[in-house]
Amino acid sequence: MSEQRTRPTTNVDDPILRAENLRKRFGGIVAVDGASFEVERGSITGLIGPNGAGKSTTFNLITGVYRPDGGSVVFDGGDVTGHSPERIANQGLVRTFQIARELPEMTVLENMMLGPQNQLGESIWRSVTPVVRNEVIQEEKQLRERAWETLELFEIDHLAEEYASSLSGGQRKLLELARALLTDPDMLLLDEPMAGVNPSLEKKLLERIHDLQDEGYSFLLVEHDMDVIMNHCERVIVMHQGELLAEGLPAEIQGDEAVIEAYLGGDV
């Protein structure tokens, strides 16, 4: 059984992300115990599992927040195992967090402007040298335009000049996703993007994700809302106790005995 779990059983034609045999231990607790899966390029893939299944830890291992004890992560054909979060983000794999990490004492616009990668003005001397600074100002004007457009897309442009700390929980989720988009990613890892988001906003968010998918973005999302997973994901990965339990189409997962048992708390 466990031999089977370390190798994905279903075929993915063109994987953008491949995790192989990932392991992470915290003291005596094995949070992730040999998880392997692949995410199809241009797909929306769901990652589900009961609490403590190791979903968030897996996210942290993929995005470099934690260094894996074993296994490898391959993103877009390149090995990114153990790389720093900033390096992984620079390669186009960007994440959001389960509890939104907005930058509270910065305005919504400032938060957004942080997204774009490799800005000229991130070097000290370009920012302070009199003539060279004009280039920085020019770039800022272009980025400002993109930031406003993205805020409009997410319909939080009326909050642009408020501190991020004054936003509601759902608005923070929107801000985090909008900010992640400005990094020009190829793939987004969303950790419970719908948690704390009201139904109408949730609908809007899902529409946005589908639009982005049409533009070629890939998504891996952790979500507890089964309706979201079953109706919006092409593929579903199920984790349980740090291991991969099942993988397949939503319909297959829905009928999987092992999955039902894991969720209903039967003996495994």
- The reply to whether 128 sits near another protein by the rule CB under 8 A is yes
User: Toward another protein, which CB reaches closer, 148 or 263?
Assistant: 148
Kindly state whether residue 82 participates in binding another protein, applying the rule CB under 8 A.
no
Per CB under 8 A, the segment of 4-12, 43-51, 92-100, 255-263 that binds another protein is 92-100
Backbone CA torsion sign across 65, 67, 70, 74: positive
Does residue 99 belong to the site contacting another protein (CB under 8 A)? Answer: no
Distance CA 122, CA 114 (A): 10
Between the alpha carbon of residue 49 and those of residues 185, 197, 225, the distances in Å are: 26, 20, 11
Compose the 172-211 pattern: x for residues touching another protein by CB under 8 A, - for all others.
Answer: -------xx--x----------------------------
- Which one of 50, 52, 82, 121 is in contact with another protein (CB under 8 A)? 121
Interface characters, 147-176, with another protein (x: CB under 8 A): xx-----------xx-x-------------
Which one of residues 94, 159, 228, 253 is an interface residue with another protein (CB under 8 A)? Answer: 94
18, 73 in Cβ contact below 8 A? yes
Q: Is 119 an interacting residue with respect to another protein (CB under 8 A)?
A: yes
- Span interacting with another protein, options 90-98, 201-209, 219-227, 228-236, rule CB under 8 A: 90-98
Min dist CB 262 to another protein, Å, is 30
Per-residue tokens: 196: 């704390």
From candidates 11, 51, 141, 216, binder to another protein by CB under 8 A: 141
Binding interface with another protein (CB under 8 A) = 63, 65, 84-86, 89-90, 94-95, 97, 101-107, 109-110, 113-115, 117, 119-124, 127-128, 133, 136-137, 140-141, 144-145, 147-148, 160-161, 163, 179-180, 183
